[in-house]
A and B are shown apart, each in its own frame.
Chain A
């Protein structure tokens, strides 16, 4: 506190001056000798009462004026309760604001204001504390993480951009958003870089490592008071299949309402009802509900009825007609790739766990005809021992026509017999060696989103060295720590080939047990969904249509689309039905809520990232202009009061 600040506030002590004057004026009236005093009407009560009222109003105004003067003198040192970033030595800042716009931010902890609105207000507070020369970037953490405002020093543009942001039904990708933010800041000239993360930390991974570990930019994850009784149920999606409605429901929180039902509606009328409580796990989790309906019924939506929960927007979902299914062929030797607990090979179990809706087709022998391959959309091959020429030809044609292949290379692949190569999936013969490093390239892990760090301590007894070339330039998705490729991807015709330098058997590595393996499979499935024009996708993913004349309508009206290179990309931000009009035909598609986004358990953060050294929840603002206007207002009120009192006096005299 400076001397000026103290001196300015000391003016406030003068507030007793009007009070003292008031006492002197009212309580010690001037005494005047006056012989005919007995002829003067006493006016003690009315005069004093009116004087009291008049004085009280004027007294209040003068008190306020003195206090306002004190505050005016103290500004801009006035401290208000606002979010602000601390800066060292007054130097310019480059700030990346990571704003979580996922579905969990729709929750209202206090029952009135959404978490997103609060986060947006905090971001506006940060803008208010910004100065000339500061750069601001905005990154949204709804999956996939994306940049909505590249670093700019135009604060009004940043504010305008922020004002038009709305929450979505996307999943949460905090790691991706923070990595994006860090990369945006990396080359900015400002001497100080900061990243502020405004999130509820509910990304569906409450047990994952704490947020903010290993970031190169000082990051402040603003702590937020979350409700301890966060309970919510959501309908992820619903699909009609021959006289039944299959719905997937996710719930979080441990306070369940046993009377909640899933109702199926057709044109607003309930045609079926099913209690959800018996189907749900004890804690957070999902459940499949199978509701029989009349075969002639055409339900249009399902909804959760009963007591309301934290997020009401996700209690309703449209019913999709049976979507175009696809088949995943899995070629794996069960004798080599199995787990001790039994069951199918790990890769099959992983595909089932993804709940993609795809048909899993285990295969013991590699299909070698076009007819067999054409039934498959995805082909997963675990440690193949080479392909025959017929197989290679069929496989080549299948991939070129749009097939998606995933192959894991192991010792058997390296021992392929003469004449049996792995073409067209791998060029040349791979070489198996037991020289696998202890870890993989850390930066490449970001490709797998939140699951990426699970690869950092990958344990493998060996690895496949395979030629990193081909007719098209392959892309290394993941590399070992010595930069040799572990996972590469390349395209062939309209298809995609993904090669993993490890087999999918737990005998050689724990890759199948790593969450990143699921992420890899999920990416493949999503990629197929994009190619095949999946009827249902998660919010945040896109439909890509090979036409520019596409119009999209939702329940709330026309929906914006993006055109690029003769294609139209539709990226749903909210769950629901999207009607795509393509060449006079209407194609109804569904965007659904990601299951793990329903989990409202917050993720932990490191202590470093919640320290107040990076920012505070209070800041200094200059309100002198408003104080000056307030003083003018007080002056006007005083003049008005004086005029009113003069009129009252004249009226009393006339009486």
Chain B
């Protein structure tokens, strides 16, 4: 059995189950108010004009400008009403990996972070949505600030099965990005939780493009402790969970070079993100989830609108 097949099964929640209770516990541990909403009520501010294009709401056509300049112009308003958080969870096969000393698989840890963030964000009255990269049984959750949004997201996470290979499927990644782009407006926050190991070439640029309209981008790279340290000794055969990479090596000899390669690989994703003032976090599945959520919220707060 290929290693990836062994990991294409239900999420190895480990000691993180049940997700609902763990997520509430984590959220309760997060300082309330870290996710401060910048919404000040229903008021609007004039934001300028632009040419009318078919499909624009006729209510925003400026009649005065039509009469004065004989042009169809649409009045624009800058609003801060979209302070929602759109989370994108990597559910490819590589996220199902769980190290020998880890509490759970990477995807389970990421799911816990997602659920906890959901609860925190909902407590601030902001809408939350959830999208997926690959995965089986992964149903997207539309943006919602209602009270049952947490339940829907938790339910979606619990039914997840991490599988699939996204490395060679850039179109699927594009579809996910376009879906977020349609829903997330200026000021929205997009959080990607992934190990960044098996995303297709160009995924970094496409994700970074989401930050072009005032969206704030945060990437949480979730890695197992073994992936961060390569702790094996002697001659071992390493098999990736996506693709067919199987190689034999001596970790004692190549450890330093591997860590350099991991940093360089991550840098491919981080660099376009940094150009868009996005934030990147690397978390270890052995870390305290509360600290991880706090770091994510701080990162969201640091990103300029």
Contact = CB atoms under 8 A, between A and B. Distances in A.
B254 A35 contact: no
B246 A40 contact: no
A649 B251 CA distance: 11
Interface stretch (A25-33, A237-245, A403-411, A631-639): A25-33
Contacts of A41: 249, 254, 257-258, 261
A37 interface: yes
Nearest to A30: B236
B245 A38 contact: yes
Contacts of A44: 247-249
B197 interface: yes
Contact of A36 (B227, B250, B257): B227
B250 A43 contact: yes
Interface string A472-494: 00000000000000000000000
Contacts, number: 109
Contacts of A30: 232, 234-237
A79 B4 CA distance: 62
Contact of A47 (B3, B250, B257, B262): B250
Contacts of A32: 232, 236-239
Interface in A12-50: 26, 29-44, 47-48
Contacts of B249: 40-44, 47
B226 A43 contact: no
Interface in A40-65: 40-44, 47-48, 51
B253 interface: yes
Given A29-B235, A41-B257, A36 B240 contact: yes
A335 interface: no
B243 interface: yes
B22 to A, nearest CB: 24
A187 interface: no
A652 B253 contact: yes
B90 to A, nearest CB: 11
Chain A interface extent, by class:
20 to 34
Interface in B218-248: 226-227, 230, 232, 234-243, 245-248
Interface in B174-212: 195, 197-198
B31 interface: no
A653 interface: yes
B237 A35 contact: no
A632 to B, nearest CB: 29
B286 to A, nearest CB: 16
B97 interface: yes
Interface string A623-655: 000000000000000000000000001001101
Given A36-B197, A37-B246, A47 B253 contact: yes
A43 B7 CA distance: 26
Given A35-B227, A39-B261, A43-B248, A29 B197 contact: no
**Nearest 5 pairs of A and B residues by beta carbon:** A33-B3, A35-B94, A37-B240, A43-B249, A47-B250
Interface of A: 26, 29-44, 47-48, 51, 649, 652-653, 655
Interface of B: 3-4, 6-7, 94, 97, 195, 197-198, 226-227, 230, 232, 234-243, 245-258, 261-262, 265
